[in-house]
Copies of this chain bind each other. A is one copy, B any other.
Amino acid sequence: MEMTSAVASLAALAHEGRLAAFRQLVQAGGAGLAAGELARRLDMLPNTLSTNLGILAQAGLVTSQREGRSIIYRAHYDAMGELLAYLVEDCCAGSPEICAPLAKVASGCCAA
């Protein structure tokens, strides 16, 4: 992963509304959620949310797919994983005990 796209992804997530939307999608799994459903859950104006989903999509963190009148958004787990891996790349100068807290990440998810 390149610096530029990592910054874009982080900037996309560094916003209350977008982070909330993204987490909803992460939790929703493969089924994803329609833009309107997200707007309702997060109590956001549809146009504002749309702009923000666009920013997440451009960063590669979510994908979208039209389904009838709705557009379904889904978290893009691959991109997510690359971003997290980039942040801890070559970490801790070879002293595993120092970065043990990072192990949480795996267990927080389904890897457990």
Contacts and interface: CB of A to CB of B under 8 A. Distances in A.
Q: List the number of copies, as a whole number.
A: 2
A84 B102 contact: yes
A96 B81 contact: no
Contact of A101 (B13, B28, B80): B80
B106 A81 contact: no
B92 A108 contact: no
Interface of A is mostly: helix
Interface of A: 3-4, 6-7, 10-11, 13-16, 19-20, 22-23, 26-31, 75, 77-78, 80-82, 84-85, 87-96, 98-106, 108-111
A3 B26 contact: no
